[in-house]
Amino acid sequence: MTLVLFNKPYDVLSQFTDRGSPTTRATLSDFIDAPGVYPAGRLDRDSEGLLLLTDDGRLQARIADPKFKLPKTYWVQVEGVPDDAALAALRTGVSLNDGPTRPAEAERIDAPALWPRVPPIRQRASIPDTWIALTIREGRNRQVRRMTAAVGHPTLRLVRWRVGDWTLDGIASGTWTRA
């Protein structure tokens, strides 16, 4: 069994090929040379961080299928400063257009020491930003971004730091290691 932990950079697709695009976009094949592994779940092109890849179908299902409720922790840079009420709403679950989310763990954190994002996020002198750690146990399309927007704090940068017991600790952006 092979398990690859990859620190996916911003603007990279979570697949090995880019079919149907008139321009060539970066894919996993630009970074990973480990034959036979496939992503266990997805990470949007405009998100960064931990992507797990494996050649084991059962492990892939356990990681990706929401019925297993594997916790995924994101470090999220948001616009503004979420107050206690916004964090409480995230913790109890927020209503989205596809229904309420499950309760999440949410807390303000100090800005993490991360690699620079290319391109950098937009900075607005008149609007502060804050980092929060958000742990969810489901994986709807663009869920974290929709959750922070629902409590009035749009996401500026999104980094998946942890999936289950696996973390990005020690893995530079654009690099991978075997677990």
Quick one: CA torsion of 156, 121, 159, 100, rounded to 10 degrees?
Answer: 10
Point out the catalytic residue in the list 44, 84, 110, 129: 44
Active site residue 33: no
Strand partners, 77: 131, 157
Pairing of β 99-100 and β 95-96: antiparallel
From residue 18, give the alpha-carbon distance in Å to each of 24, 25, 45, 85.
Answer: 7, 7, 12, 42
Return the sign of the alpha-carbon dihedral for residues 155, 160, 164, 167: negative
Which residue in this structure is represented by tokens 């971004």? 145
Active site residues: 44
